[in-house]
Amino acid sequence: MHTQATCQSLTSRWDSGSGNVVSTSSLYVIFKIILRSYKMKNVALTTIVFLLIFAFRLNAQIIPVFENTAIKSVELAPSIDEKGFFWKIKLISKTQEKFLIKITKIRNNDKYEIYKSTDDINKGINYLNSNPLDSTIFDWIFESTDAHIFFTVELLSKSSSKSFLLNFPVSITQKEILDLRQSALLFHNKVETISQNNFYYNFDGRRWSIVNFQNNNNQKFYEFYPHPAIPEYSAELFQIFRYLYIDNEKFNSALKDKKNFFQNLIEDPKSNCKSFKSKILKEDKENLYFEYTVESCNGGKPASYFGRYFVGRTSAVLYVFIYFETEIPEVNKEIYRISLEKQSSNY
């Protein structure tokens, strides 16, 4: 089972008043949160969980691709008018070409074709519209959270028969969704009860739903797991720790020291876990990217961590993907890398 940190433990371990933010005791609670142990009570339960995790890993992940040799970018925007529900498409091409274009919306294991047409594409900016679509494809406008929708764009050159692929998420805010609801009511008299959904991400075609959130003074913690996993037995997790700066320069300076923060973060697993390995992948003025693995801690399962520590204007943010094996598959690692780089720097 995934351990759940209490508000009390987070608060008591983080002495913002003293400014001792990067001591071992200060970061001990972070390690306790991000280190998960799957201790099963009997062989039968272990077998069931193993089969569940194996099944979950069969769920297809898609590596994001935002640009290729033919297309610089594609932007998609939902729209509703008197003609129906459709998508506006902005395609920036690096070449002039006739393409068969197919755009598919991906949601977990479900696929919905929203556009298929042969178009003469000019070099530069091109604007296209999908045909009116079934309103059920827009069911997310009646959810209570921002929408994060994943698309694949396939382009087949009619002259060379070469194919080009883009995969990317599109985020739609609640304000934009409210406008779409009003248009659905105005033009089509369509109104539905709002589904109360928790916040989620869509990094790779799977919905990563929030399973844990804590807000304690200057700290915020979020934890997400991917469809179709059961949270307690998910083979993957994504966690965000956000630390707000306070009126204490010593505290803030300690947060801004990226390498020192990382060394303190790994101090406990380095000392107490079997077969610990770590590596700083790259660093710039604001970011430090890292990975580390443990074979076991206190009898727990192996785990690999792939993360980014970001120092912003008003806070520092730790983003961490966790994969519960001693090695992250290359597909997953590439998804994690791209997703971490795309995480917000507006802090």
Query: Residue 347 has what pLDDT?
Result: 74
What would the mean pLDDT of 65-70 be, rounded to a whole number?
Answer: 97
Q: Could you report the per-residue pLDDT of 178-227, keeping only the tens digit for each?
A: 999 999 999 999 999 999 988 999 999 999 999 999 998 889 999 999 98
Category of 274 on φ-ψ map: left (φ > 0), alpha (ψ -120 to 50) or beta = beta
The span from the first CA to the last CA of the chain, in angstroms, equals 32
Spatial distance between the Cα atoms of 120 and 124, rounded to a whole number of angstroms: 12
Query: Residue 48 has what pLDDT?
Result: 43
Query: Residue 8 has what pLDDT?
Result: 24
Spatial distance between the Cα atoms of 148 and 145, rounded to a whole number of angstroms: 9
Q: Could you report the per-residue pLDDT of 38-66, keeping only the tens digit for each?
A: 333 333 334 444 444 444 444 568 999 99
Where do the domains of the chain lie, and which CATH numbers do they carry? Answer: 7-60+203-342 (3.40.1000), 71-188 (2.60.40)
* Cβ–Cβ under 8 Å, residues 121 and 93: yes
Query: Residue 31 has what pLDDT?
Result: 56
Beta strands in the chain (DSSP E): 71-81, 84-93, 97-107, 110-121, 124-129, 147-157, 163-172, 200-201, 208-216, 219-226, 236-244, 277-283, 287-294, 303-311, 315-323
- Unique residue bearing structure tokens 């940190």: 5
Beta-strand pair 124-129/315-323? unpaired
pTM of the model: 0.82
* Cβ–Cβ under 8 Å, residues 238 and 258: no
Listed range (32-46, 111-125, 141-155, 317-331) with the worst mean pLDDT:
32-46
Q: How confident is the model at residue 27 (pLDDT cuts 50, 70, 90)?
A: low
For residue 1, the 8-state DSSP code is -
What would the mean pLDDT of 137-146 be, rounded to a whole number?
Answer: 95
- Unique residue bearing structure tokens 């790779």: 204
